[in-house]
Amino acid sequence: MTPEEYCQGKAAKSGSSFYYSFLFLAPERRRAITALYAFCRAVDDIVDETHEDAVARTKLAWWRAEIAHLFDGKPQHPVSKALAPAIHEFNLPQEHFLEIIDGMEMDLDYSSYETFKDLTLYCHRVASIVGIMSAEIFGYQDRQTLKYAHHLGMAFQLTNILRDVREDCRLGRLYLPLDELEKFDVSIDELRENHTSNKARALFEYQAKRAQDYYQKAYAALPMADRYTQRGGLIMAAIYRRILDKISSDNFNVLEKRISLTPIQKFWLAWKTNRQEKQRCKPVAHA
């Protein structure tokens, strides 16, 4: 199995919305974004699947060393080997990979965040940095596009936080700011239950509004000249916003069930968004 096949297997197996943003890219960009996703998946799985913090920290330290090997031209892991061509071709800096690892390690350091301002560093590291690296791979002409990528990463992470709130709480992690729980008079124990109270619905609606605001800020920051090359991110946005809309239309019952889309629904949104962006940006479209 080649490093590229290893990363492709990781991406396809996950069923992540990220995977559907790969489908309409040129081959070299698709290989790069698939390798980046496989790296993110590898370090995220360490925190999610390792039951002892000390072991998880050791594994994350191994990845920090492996990133150093990668930038020294001596990658060892299949994911690192797949990333090797991409780091030079698409200007992916070493510090971005390390910041993603730092973000994952925050899950070992913090079980909750007092305010949204405190939470933003975590979101920046685990999502906005990935968005910025993805924007580099997709390609852009205007550096304003990096601001779009940052906002979009925030929007994606806030959508994930709302969708997964009960599951995260049961794992001992809370990503809703504690001062906002207090504001809406919702306890952490309530978020572990299978029933959504009206107070919790008000809290969740508040979180959804914040996520929608970040989507709007992202769209407003994206220059028209870069819309077509950035269609991978726009495909993900279409999928994630549909999840957010589904949560809202289901009256924010995220404690009763995990709200998601089927693979067919994701593929349809990906195809539709790619087609719309191709038509919208025909005069400036390029692969």
- Reading the chain (287 residues) residue by residue, the pLDDT tens digits are 899 989 988 877 766 777 888 888 999 999 999 999 999 999 999 998 888 999 999 999 999 999 999 999 999 999 999 999 999 999 899 999 999 999 999 999 999 999 999 999 999 999 999 999 999 999 999 999 999 999 999 999 999 999 999 999 988 999 999 999 999 999 999 999 889 999 999 999 999 999 999 999 999 999 999 999 999 999 999 999 999 999 999 999 999 988 999 999 999 999 999 999 888 876 544 44
Go through 35-57 and write b for each residue having 16 or more CB atoms within 10 A of its CB, e for each that does not: bbbbbbbbbeebbeebeeeeebb
3-class DSSP assignment, residue 189: helix
Task: Measure the CA–CA gap between 160 and 167, rounded to whole angstroms.
Answer: 11
Q: Where do the domains of the chain lie?
A: 3-284
Number of helical H runs and strand E runs in the chain = 14, 0
Q: Would you say 254 and 165 are in contact if contact means Cβ atoms under 8 Å apart?
A: yes
What's the CA gap between 89 and 133, in Å, rounded? 12
Strands (E), 26-162: none
Rounded distance, CA 76 to CA 265, Å? 37
**Tokens 């405190």 belong to residue:** 118
CA distance 40 to 16: 12
Cα distance between residue 254 and residue 276, in whole Å: 31
How far apart are alpha carbons 216 and 152 in whole angstroms?
9
Whether the Cβ atoms of residue 93 and residue 141 lie closer than 8 Å to each other: no
Residue from 165, 173, 202 nearest 186 by CA: 202
The number of beta carbons lying within 10 Å of the beta carbon of residue 245 is: 12
Q: Residue 117 has which token pair?
A: 């301002």
- What distance in Å separates the CA atoms of residue 197 and residue 178, rounded to the nearest whole number? 17
Whole-number Å distance between alpha carbons of 225 and 281: 8
- What pLDDT does 191 receive? 94
Q: Are 106 and 118 in contact (CB under 8 A)?
A: no
Which two structure tokens, joined as six digits, stand for 257?
Answer: 């069930």
In whole angstroms, give the CA distance from residue 9 to residue 79: 11
Class of domain 3-284: mainly alpha
Position 286 scores a pLDDT of 47
